[in-house]
Structures are given as C-alpha cells and as structure tokens.
Chain A
C-alpha cells in the first residue's frame, strides 16, 4: 500500500499520466466534436495512424516540428472529410464508413511508409518536441515540475480543452453544433445548413484526432512504428461516452486513464515477479470497457447520433 501512495505522490508519476493522457485528450476532443454534431467517427484509429505517420514524415522531410503538426492535422482533416461525405450527404452507415476509413487510412499510412522507406529495419529518428520551460508556471511547486516536463503539444491539448469548451458553451457555433446533434430539423428550420455544420465538425474533429497521432511520433517517441497506435483511438471512443460529451469531463477521463496506465507501469516494476506483465498491459483496455459500462446507461447521448438526415425528408 505504501508503495502505491509513494507513487501517487511522486511528480514523475503525474507527469507521466499527463503525457500518456495527451494523445487521448486530442482524440477524445475530436470524437466529442464529431458526436456532438451527431456523427460517430470510427475512423479515429486510422486517423491516429495517419497523423502519426504524416507528422513524423513531414518533419523527417524537413518541414519543421510545427510544419509536421500542420501536415498531420491536414491529413486528418482529409480523411475526416471523406468520412463526412460518406455519412452526411450520402447518409451511409456511420459504423461501416468509420471502419472503412480506419482500414483505408491505416493502409495508406503503412503503404506510404514502406514505399518511402523500402528497406529500413528501424525508422529514421527525428528531433521531437522538447519539454517547454515556461517562466513563472514552471516555478510552481509540484504542479510546476509536473507541467515542466511536458512538451508544447501537451500544452496545446490543454488549451484545446478550454477552447472546445468555450466554443460549445459560449458561442453561436457551439449552440448550432449541439442542436444539429440533437435535432437536425431545428437547425434546418432556422435556415442553417445541417450538412455544413456536420461536415465542418467532422473535419475539425478528425484534424484533432490526427494531432493525437502526431503526438505519438513527435513528442512521446521520435519515430513511426507499425502498430504504435495500438487501440488508442478505440479507447477515445469509449472515453467520450464516459465523459458524457463534455470537454471538461473528457479531460478528466483522459487524465484518469493516463494515471491508471502510468500506475500499472510502475506497479509492474514493483510486483512484476508475481503477476505476468501482460496482465498490466490489459488494464487500460479493461478500464475502458468498465468506464463504458458504467456510463452507458445514464449517458446523455446526442439524440441524433447515428441517424442520417436528408434535406427535404421529414
């Protein structure tokens, strides 16, 4: 017990939690925006891969770190647009389209990677984002050193939580997005474009998802590997439900998840002899399922989620 307490009180533990949570924050926010507008985006897993691959490759080709971030976001937006066209004006199954996008985006990424680097056994490394030393903030006790270890992308993720919250709750655009996810007719009757809002939300949401992927290759690691996303996208889909589609709770969910993940790594070194390591590896996925089950019944689903809307049919 003492061990766990020691871990929980250590700065490095919370720094690690925040680091693990960062890609999830991007992903959950992205999925949240899509679903608030009424569209499930199961393309998330593949869009993570695309973001990871494109961001890293752009940097490797000399685009600079922020150039890489931009390329990743644009790549994510592109696949989001594809999903949006299939599910919004065409009204096709959001499940199947999303899975199709995941398969497509993943295979495009892998094929591009293999074609660009046909014969390498280990990928070339880039110089990733470095921890950001902000004056004043970094000097705060405890919190300062937790935050001090984070890169600019983590700061960006935290900033986006606030921004998404502000847009959803304090702007006309946010009201319209929430309305289109609840009852598209309400938006249509007021002369706003249901298609425009939904497509826009999916494109922006997908760009955020891709940033989650980019974090993996440009901040958490320094290169692209096959299978590196490893279900993080799906975890985000579960966390959105856990978060009841609220940005603040999404942050909380991602942090909790990060904390559990960081904890399991540390526990593994403590009690690794007693339990096979794989048990710990399962923990994040099991936790996601538990979170989903807890939240599912009481979840306040956007009422129009999964339901296509066609102009002139009511």
Chain B
C-alpha cells in the first residue's frame, strides 16, 4: 500500500433549504486504502458522497482527484459523467440498475457510443469476465437484473464501476441488504481489489464492521467531520461517542411476565408477487407485555408478514386471532377496530397523506369515530383540538396542525404516526422498521414508546433489519427467512446471523 493521495475533498458544504447536510467537510483518501465514513443516519455521509459523484452541487468547497499519473487535479462539480471519467465509481444504497436489461447491458450502459448501429458485446463480455476473475465478484451476465438476488445485484453495481476503470470506489451502506456472512465475503473481495490499487470509501453506521475492515475511519455528525483516525488506533467506545454525541440512552426495559396472547397466527400463508411478500405456513404468537423481534435480511418475507398484520393482504390460508378473537378476511379497518396499531415501514408512502393537514392525518384511521364526524360531516373543531393535544403530548413539531403533513421532517412524521397509533391504546402494535432513517433522539423516542406500550400490557411485533435494535428492545427474537419463521434459541448475535443466512444454526 502506498501513501499517495488519490482524492481530496476540501471544505465541502451543502444545505437543503434550512437543513445543513454538510458543513465544511474535508477528507483525503490514499491509494489502496479502505476509508470508512462512519456516522448516524442523517449525519450527511450520503450527501457528501453524492457531491463527490456529481449528483449534488456543493454550496462551497472543491474536490481534487488524482489522474492516472497520480497528479491531483480539480474535479468539475455537479457532473456525474466527469466524475465517472475521472475514475470515481459509486455504488448507491438503492441500486441504480435497470431491471429489464441484463447485467452485461447494465455494466456497459453508457460506455458505448449511442448512435453506433453495432455493439461489441463479445469484447465487453471478455473484459467483464476478466474483472470478475480478478476481483472475485461474480454474477450471471445474461439474465435480466430483475431476476438476480440482492447480493448479485450489488456485485453487478461494483462491476459497473470497475468496468469504468474506477480507481476510487464509494460504497454506500453496502451491507444493509446482506447477511453478516455475505458481508464478510464482500469485504474479502474489497481487500482483493485494494491490493490491486483500488481505493475504497465505504459508508456505514455499523461500528463493528468498520472496525473490522477499514484502514482509516472518518466520523461525521450533523454534517460535520468530528473525528478521523487510523483504525488500528481506534477505540470503539470513543468512536461511538463521536457518532452519537451524547451518551446512548439506555432503552432496554425490565423483565415483565408475558400475559395472554394478543396475536395468534397459525398456518398463515401468502403467495406474494415476490419473495419479499411471500409467507409459508407461519405460526406466530405475541403475548401481552411482550416485544417480539423479527430479524432477517431484507426481502425475506418481512413485507408479507407486515401486510398481513396490517390487514393489507388477505392470507390464502391460516387463522389470525387478535386478543383471542378471530379476524375473518382481514382489512386495515378491521385490524384497527380489533385494536391493532400499525407503524408502516415507508412512512412517507404509507404513513401519511402528505398533501393533507397534520390534523387530518391524525384522524385518518378513525373516520367512523363520533368524535371525528357526525352525520358524515367532519367535526372540524374536535379534529383541530385532537391535533393540538396530540402534537403537544408527542412533541410533533412543524409549521402547525393545519399545514400539509409533508412539510414535517422525517422524525416528526414518525411522531405524528406514533401519536395516531398510541393514542388509541392498541392491544397489538406492528412496528415495521420504526427507527429507519431517524436520528438518535427520535429513534430513542420510538423505543421508549414501544416499551411504555409493553408495560401497559400491549404486545409488539417489531420488524427491524438492525440487529442491535432488536437485541436491545425485544424480549424474544424470531428470524424470518424465505417466508418462514424460525425461533432464535437465544440472543447470540452470531447464531442469529447464521440463521438469517440460512445456515444450520
């Protein structure tokens, strides 16, 4: 490994409206190095990399990239094409793959002259196969990408960058969609590539993998760089402090004796359109005073499970009981009436109607309630009062209860949903990725509310991809894989990881 600098970010700043995403961030990257960019969700990691790649135009600052001879040259900003040509490749968190064309086509897209009537696919294929052999990354080249697994798609993304002669590779949360074991393989491949002279920035909020696989760590918080050190000198505790700022609030609740079952599912099957919403004859019981954690690699049936409990999908087979009462052909309205509170995975898409007011969103699940309407007409004052009360109780901040809900920040949208759900004192709470994308404070608030509900006697189904969150909140953990549930025998992280991957535990 040499120490020649291949990339310099100089004082980059970026704001979106009133929100400061990056404030005067400077970074350097050396040849053959793995630099971990560590930070909480919303710390500005992705924004920083999007500026590097030309997707965002910085408000201030500059970027220098080494050319093939190793000489640093200023990078014109705001042009992905130029960034690509300068050897910067980026693998986004949400893959930027077209699913209706093959991996080969995705990889060569944009590297051939558009107006030529012929393509040289054979040469392209030879080159890709060479890169695959060298990096250890492999993926089927001729299948439409829509039919590839998540891991394969990620490898196609990396191959795309390498095919473009990337000398600097940025990986945005590459392990979020992988099992711990798949992640290990990925890091081995990265090692292989850095040995060949590739430099890698990988973005993560997972302390463990950062410590295990990087050469150097830079920590971002609230858009600022708050620390930088060689991994060999890094101290887990102090980095965690840097990331989070204040002490992490202690969440885990005290032991409570589980009560009667509030949710019983037996033999429930859903034939979904894809693996992510398919369930195969699952049995599940959640008791009062209990938080049941659902662990699993994303896309293994979590959506299917959530959809059934939320009432969005009618299972083909099986029985669902809430509080001992069977729910025949469930609908969302029936589930709400039975006492199920639902916190949806995608709060913008399913949680709120952005164009309607905060107050209206707070009553959208209880339109039959005489407090909300009489004779089919909305009781506007009561709706208003309800919103004022809930905003205060749940600390929903924003431009007011009459403003469109889309104007709220992500954290406040989640608080709006929490207010709507918890105010009805549900017997069962379905929380699907409830802290995703929230800052530490808001995430802690969600955890506290769930624990309070548990103390009150509710049962909770907590679906999360964050194993740490599950380990700190859940009384019991069940692993979901290929639409089947497997009870985790204990709280051993390694073992749960293996179960997620489908290896014999």
Contact A183 B98 (CB under 8 A): yes
Q: How many A-B residue pairs have CB under 8 A?
A: 85
Q: From A181, A192, A302, A312, give the contact of B109 (CB < 8 A).
A: A192
Name the distance in Å between B480's Cβ and chain A's nearest Cβ.
Answer: 26
How far, in whole Å, are A27 and B99 apart by their CA atoms in the complex? 27
Count contacts on A: residues with CB < 8 A to the other chain: 25
A303 contacts partner chain B, Cβ-Cβ < 8 Å: yes
Given A186-B109, A190-B110, A312-B56: A179 and B98 interface contact (C-beta under 8 Å)? yes
Give A180-195 interface residues, CB cut-off 8 Å to B. 180-183, 185-192
- Which chain B residues (82-108) contact chain A, with CB distance < 8 Å? 84-85, 90, 92, 94, 96-101, 105-106, 108
Count, chain B residues at interface, CB 8 A: 32
Per-residue CB contact flags for chain A residues 299-314 toward chain B (1 = under 8 Å, else 0) read 0101100000000101
User: Is B436 part of the contact surface with A, judged by Cβ < 8 Å?
Assistant: no
Q: Give A165 Cβ to nearest chain B Cβ, in Å.
A: 13
Q: List A contacts of B105 (CB < 8 A).
A: 175, 179
B84 to A179, Cβ gap below 8 A?
Answer: no
Cross-chain contact A170 with B119 (CB below 8 angstroms) = yes
**Min C-beta distance of B81 to chain A, whole Å:** 4
Instruction: Answer whether residue A176 sits at the interface, using C-beta atoms and an 8 A cutoff.
Output: yes
Query: What's the Cα separation between A128 and B99 when bound, in Å?
Result: 45
Q: Chain B contacts of A171 at CB under 8 A?
A: 116-119
What is the 8 Å Cβ interface bit string for chain B, positions 51-88, against chain A (1 contact, 0 not)? 00001110000000000000000000000110011000
A312-B98 contact given A172-B108, A175-B109, A188-B80, CB 8 Å threshold? no
CB pair A303–B109 under 8 Å, yes or no, is: no
Find out whether the CB atom of B55 lies under 8 angstroms from the CB atom of A312: yes
Q: Which of B55, B106, B116 lies in contact with A179, CB distance below 8 A?
A: B106
Q: Which residues of A contact B56 (CB under 8 A)?
A: 312
Chain A 240-253: CB-based contact to B (< 8 A → 1; otherwise 0) = 00000000000000
Selected from B57, B94, B114, the residue in CB contact (under 8 A) with A314 is: B94
A311 to chain B: closest CB distance in Å?
A: 8
Q: Distance (Å) between the CB of B38 and the closest chain A CB?
A: 22
Contacts A189-B90, A190-B160, A312-B56 given; indicate if A173 touches B114 (C-beta within 8 A).
yes
Which of B105, B114, B117 counts the most A-chain CB atoms under 10 A from its CB? Answer: B114
| B81 partner residues in chain A, CB cutoff 8 A | 191
Nearest chain A residue, comparing its CB with the CB of B113: A172
CB pair B114 A183 closer than 8 Å: no
CA–CA, A175 to B100, complex, Å?
9
Bound: A303/B99 CA distance, A: 9
Whether A178 is near chain B, meaning CB under 8 Å from some CB there, is yes
Contact B100 A187 (CB under 8 A): no
Complex alpha-carbon distance, A190 and B159, angstroms: 12
Known: A186-B109, A189-B96. A176 touches B84 (CB 8 A): no
Max chain B CB contacts within 10 Å: which of A172, A180, A183, A300? A172
Once the chains bind, are A191 and B110 in contact (CB under 8 Å)? yes
- B interface secondary structure, majority: loop
The answer for the CA separation of A173 and B14 in the assembled complex, in Å, is 35
When distances are taken between beta carbons in the complex, the residues of chain B under 8 Å from A178 are 98, 100-101
Contact A191 B80 (CB under 8 A): yes
Contact of A176 among B90, B97, B110 (CB under 8 A): B110
Known contacts A183-B98, A189-B92; A172/B80 CB under 8 A? no
A176 to B106, CA, bound (A): 9
| B96 with A186: CB separation less than 8 A | yes
| Shortest CB distance A256–B (Å) | 25
Q: Check B111 for interface membership: any CB of A closer than 8 A.
A: yes
Q: Let me know if B395 is at the binding interface, CB within 8 A.
A: no
* Chain A positions within 8 Å of B494 at CB level: none
Given the interface pairs A186-B96, A187-B110, the reply to whether A314 lies near B55 with Cβ below 8 Å is yes
Contact across chains for A186 and B112 when beta carbons are under 8 A apart: no
Asked if B328 is at the interface (CB within 8 A of a chain A CB), the reply is no
> Nearest Cβ in chain B — how far from A53, in angstroms?
32
Q: Which residues from chain A contact B113 at a C-beta distance below 8 Å?
A: 172
CA distance A314 to B115 in the complex (A): 28
**Shortest CB–CB separation between residue A169 and chain B, in angstroms?**
10
Q: How far is the CB of B387 from chain A (nearest CB, A)?
A: 30
Asked whether, in the complex, the Cβ of A172 is within 8 Å of the Cβ of B119, the reply is yes
Q: Judging by beta carbons under 8 Å apart, are B96 and A188 in contact? A: yes
The answer for the CA separation of A182 and B85 in the assembled complex, in Å, is 24
What string of 1s and 0s marks CB contacts (under 8 Å) between A179-222 and chain B?
Answer: 11111011111111000000000000000000000000000000
Closest to A313 in B: B55
Does B57 lie within 8 Å of A312, measured CB to CB?
yes
Given A172-B119, A179-B98, A314-B94: A189 and B80 interface contact (C-beta under 8 Å): yes
Closest to B110 in A: A190
Task: Report Cα–Cα, A302/B85, bound state, in Å.
Answer: 29
Query: Do A187 and B94 touch (CB < 8 A)?
Result: no
CB-CB under 8 A from B80, the residues of chain A are 188-189, 191
In the assembled complex, the CB of A257 is this many whole angstroms from the nearest CB of chain B, namely 26
Chain A: minimal CB distance from B22 (Å): 15
Q: Which of A142-191 contact B (CB under 8 A)?
A: 170-173, 175-176, 178-183, 185-191
Cβ–Cβ contact B109 & A176, under 8 A: yes
Q: Which residues of B contact A176 (CB under 8 A)?
A: 109-110, 114
* Among all A-B residue pairs, the 5 with the closest Cβ atoms: A190-B110, A179-B98, A191-B81, A189-B96, A172-B112
Sample of 13 more A-B contacts, CB < 8 Å, known A188-B96, A190-B96: A170-B119, A176-B110, A179-B100, A179-B106, A182-B98, A186-B106, A188-B80, A190-B84, A190-B109, A191-B80, A302-B100, A312-B56, A314-B94
Binding site for B on A (CB under 8 A): 170-173, 175-176, 178-183, 185-192, 300, 302-303, 312, 314
13 contacts between A and B (CB under 8 A): A170-B118, A171-B118, A175-B108, A176-B114, A182-B99, A186-B98, A186-B106, A188-B55, A188-B96, A189-B92, A190-B111, A190-B160, A192-B109
Chain B interface residues (CB < 8 Å from chain A): 55-57, 80-81, 84-85, 90, 92, 94, 96-101, 105-106, 108-119, 160, 164
